[in-house]
Amino acid sequence: MKKNNEDLKHCIMDFDRQFDMDTAIGGVAAWVSYFADDGVMVVGHGGDIKGKEAILAHMARPFSLPGFFSSMGAP
């Protein structure tokens, strides 16, 4: 069982690294591409954002701010 857990951990970490690289290169469009068309983004202040297009519209401004993505600990 331990080996399966380690394999899963490595798989998740590889996926996360790919997500970071894609987003660093492609910005908000790449970031949003990881959501399903009917995905939901949970936001801290309530009023979850529903649907890929709404999520893109919501996140376009923050991603346009200098240093936004790197401030999230990304490459």
pLDDT of 17-75, one tens digit each? 999 899 989 999 999 999 999 999 998 887 899 999 999 999 999 999 888 766 565 55
Residue 1 scores a pLDDT above 70: no
Domain contains 45: yes
Q: What pLDDT score does 26 carry?
A: 92
Domain contains 50: yes
Q: What pLDDT score does 46 carry?
A: 76
Question: Which ranges constitute the DSSP H helices of the chain?
Answer: 2-32, 52-64, 68-71
Range of the domain at 25: 2-67
Domain contains 20: yes
Domain contains 73: no
23 contact partners, CB below 8 Å, separation of at least 6: 30, 31, 69, 74
Q: What pLDDT score does 68 carry?
A: 78
- Number of folded domains in the chain? 1
